[in-house]
């Protein structure tokens, strides 16, 4: 087991020397529910309101608030934050994709992952009356571009 070095420098990384480039990140999360709850969601929605639009707004808001949630994240003026859905009827699942972009000196991977996860949590919150056993899973970075490390695409 590796030892933790408690003497490491702590704080935000100094990005002042990095080049300004367009940064893009796409992340996803999946929420799986019972077949009955899934059918209810698609046909009737939730007594709390429009599930998909509410989760979309929650995801965008979360991307913007990431530095308040994740220590050491830089506050950014995001240029774009979107949330989209893929419906998987065979697995009674919704795949949430969040895309975030920014022109600056640091990446937006965390903002994209926080957006996707928050959208999934919002769907859970709005549908828990129908299924408390829903599972949020597969939170992952699908793509990132910009910056010194270049482009990353998750293998299928």
Which of the following is catalytic: 5, 19, 125, 131?
125
Residue 1: the pLDDT is 61
Residue 10: the pLDDT is 77
Residue 4: the pLDDT is 67
Angle at 100 between CA 120 and CA 29, to 5 degrees: 25
Residue 34: the pLDDT is 98
Residue 11: the pLDDT is 86
Residue 6: the pLDDT is 66
Each as own residue / partner, the long-range contacts of residues 91-94 (CB below 8 Å, 24 or more positions apart, any chain) are 91/32, 92/32, 92/33, 92/34, 92/35, 92/37, 92/38, 93/30, 93/31, 93/32, 93/33, 93/38, 94/30, 94/31, 94/120, 94/123
pLDDT in tens, the chain (156 residues): 666 666 666 788 989 989 999 999 999 999 999 999 999 999 999 999 999 999 999 999 999 999 999 999 999 999 999 999 999 999 999 999 999 999 999 999 999 999 999 999 999 999 999 999 999 999 999 999 999 899 999 998
SS3 18: coil
Residue 2: the pLDDT is 65
Task: Based on the residue annotation, tell me whether 125 is a catalytic residue of this protein.
Answer: yes
Residues 124, 76: Cα–Cα separation, whole Å: 28
Domains of the chain with bracketed CATH: 21-153 (3.30.70.640)
Helical ranges in the chain per DSSP H: 35-43, 51-69, 109-127
Element (H, E) at 149: none
Q: Alpha carbon 52 to chain centroid distance?
A: 15
């Amino acid at each position: 087991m590796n030892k933790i070095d408690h003497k490491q420098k702590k704080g935000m990384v100094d990005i002042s020397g990095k080049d300004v480039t367009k940064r893009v990140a796409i992340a996803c999360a999946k929420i799986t529910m019972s077949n009955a709850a899934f059918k209810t969601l698609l046909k009737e929605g939730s007594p709390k309101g429009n599930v998909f639009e509410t989760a979309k707004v929650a995801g965008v808001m979360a991307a913007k608030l990431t530095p308040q949630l994740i220590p050491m994240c830089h506050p950014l003026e995001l240029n774009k934050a979107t949330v989209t859905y893929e419906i998987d009827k065979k697995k009674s699942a919704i795949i949430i994709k969040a895309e975030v972009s920014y022109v600056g000196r640091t990446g937006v991977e965390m903002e994209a992952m926080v957006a996707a996860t928050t959208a999934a949590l919002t769907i859970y919150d709005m549908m828990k009356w129908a299924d408390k056993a829903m599972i949020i899973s597969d939170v992952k970075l699908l793509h990132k571009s910009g910056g010194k490390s270049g482009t990353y695409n998750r293998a299928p």
